Amino acid sequence: GRQLMEQEERYGIPDPRGLEQVFLRADGVYLWDLQGNRFMDFLGGDGAVSQGHNHTRIAASMVEQCLRLSLVTQGVRHARLPPYLEKLCTLTGFGAALPMNTGAEAVEVAIKAARRWAYRVKGVAPGRAEILVFTGNAHGQTTTLAGLSGDPDAADDFGPFGAGFRMAAFGDAVAAAEAVGPATCAILVEPIQGRAGLRIPPRGFLRSLRELCDRRGLLLLADEVQCGLGRTGKLFAFEHEGIRPDGAILGKALSGGFYPASAFLASREIMDLLTPGSHRSTFAGNPLACAVASAALDVLAEEHLVDRSAELGAYFLARLRSMECPRVREARGLGLWAALELREPAARAACEALAREGLLAQALGDSILALTPPLIITREQLDWSLERLERVLAH
């Protein structure tokens, strides 16, 4: 353990806020460290391992595809892409999909599409398009996205950042309406903010944004990288408000934690603004990524993970709320995604104490514990975690 840590400290940039354990293997909802200790994983790859670690079905399709064809050169056709695109569009109800690798890249594509739409459809003066974003946002770490981020660590001393964004307070639809200017072409929003501390906006917020977009002729773009694909008990978190955005971004669980795969989803008309060659990446939509993501979507459907998330999530949240823990100010969540807000800034200490009990949770900021279990988790496993949470947070 020590040798690995020294190696990483010497050659890499380890996160000093991270847990001390070094992990070696995983299965389902569990991780094992170097010493062979088992942990229940409520870090859940930030929502990427919804299908559980090392799902055999996804692993098999990955290995099989590795041995068949893993990559062709950009712009060259291969047999895995078309059926994957159809599967993704059929499942999500969008007309077209553009595959990318990471969540951040797919958000970048959404921004590009919105800008082309501004100039070619809405008639915004060249070079002037603006996109409305929200305080506390976490859309990714590219220089563009860091520049509009609500996270000081992501932006500090990385400027100058690009123009073209306006900011409004997350959850405040009136502020959003006031922030829209003559060159605003789109609103980019996480229906639920993850990194900012699992912030669930007041009911009606997204619906108000949808109405605002309709009234002012703007595109509504939903960043569902973390909250999408069943995490909140619906396929998309925006469904909780009964709305449809003009575009959506998926990532993380789209490949079940195996291989980076993200996608920008929109109508055929919007997607057609991204002409061939206008957004390329060596690995985007490669045969391996298509095979993995396709299997990950099959697992989501066949194991009814969206419904599972809704049912078990409601149970989990009710149990969290009934815990006798004076240290917890609030338990909130949606689907199998929960946060415990502590009264003191003790989230890291609590995570360390939970890890000693065999449960991995994530500290967000000083006082929030995020719980992101794989969606394949059982009720018995949730009960096991609740016992640990209650014991650690009681004192």
Residues that bind ligand PMP (CB under 6 A): 46, 102-104, 107, 138-140, 190, 194-195, 223, 225-226, 251
Q: Which residue is nearest to ligand PMP (CB)?
A: 103
Cβ proximity to ligand PMP, 281 vs 381, nearer residue: 281
In DSSP terms, which residues pair with 256 in a beta bridge?
Answer: none
Burial of 90 (0-12, 13-18, 19+ CB in 10 A): exposed
**Token duo for residue 83:** 């059926």
Cβ proximity to ligand PMP, 222 vs 359, nearer residue: 222
Query: Contact, 114 vs 271, CB < 8 A?
Result: no
Cβ proximity to ligand PMP, 46 vs 246, nearer residue: 46
Cβ proximity to ligand PMP, 18 vs 82, nearer residue: 18
CA proximity to 192, closest of 164, 152, 234, 145: 234
Instruction: Give me the least distance between CB of 29 and ligand PMP, in Å please.
Output: 20
Residues near 348 by beta carbon (within 8 Å), at least 6 away in sequence: 17, 363, 366
Instruction: Give me the least distance between CB of 363 and ligand PMP, in Å please.
Output: 15
Q: From CA 194, how far away is CA 73, in angstroms rounded?
A: 35
Residues near 130 by beta carbon (within 8 Å), at least 6 away in sequence: 164, 165, 166, 181, 183, 184, 185
Q: From CA 171, how far away is CA 203, in angstroms rounded?
A: 9
Cβ proximity to ligand PMP, 124 vs 230, nearer residue: 230
Instruction: Give me the least distance between CB of 82 and ligand PMP, in Å please.
Output: 24
Cβ proximity to ligand PMP, 135 vs 381, nearer residue: 135
- Rounded to 5 degrees, φ, ψ at 2 are -60, -40
Instruction: Give me the least distance between CB of 110 and ligand PMP, in Å please.
Output: 10
Instruction: Give me the least distance between CB of 195 and ligand PMP, in Å please.
Output: 6
Q: From CA 66, how far away is CA 113, in angstroms rounded?
A: 32
- Rounded to 5 degrees, φ, ψ at 31 are -125, 150
Radius of gyration for the alpha carbons in the chain, expressed in angstroms and rounded: 21
Instruction: Give me the least distance between CB of 252 and ligand PMP, in Å please.
Output: 6
Helix axes 56-68, 287-302, angle to 10 degrees: 160
Cβ proximity to ligand PMP, 140 vs 287, nearer residue: 140
CA proximity to 28, closest of 45, 6, 7: 45
- Rounded to 5 degrees, φ, ψ at 156 are -55, 120
Instruction: Give me the least distance between CB of 188 and ligand PMP, in Å please.
Output: 10
Instruction: Give me the least distance between CB of 196 and ligand PMP, in Å please.
Output: 10
Instruction: Give me the least distance between CB of 375 and ligand PMP, in Å please.
Output: 17
**Token duo for residue 215:** 């009234």
Rounded alpha-carbon distances, angstroms, from residue 205 to 163, 190, 266:
26, 11, 21
Instruction: Give me the least distance between CB of 380 and ligand PMP, in Å please.
Output: 29
Cβ proximity to ligand PMP, 187 vs 225, nearer residue: 225
Cβ proximity to ligand PMP, 109 vs 273, nearer residue: 109
Mapping DSSP to helix (H, G, I), strand (E, B) and coil, where does residue 43 land? coil
Cβ proximity to ligand PMP, 261 vs 290, nearer residue: 261
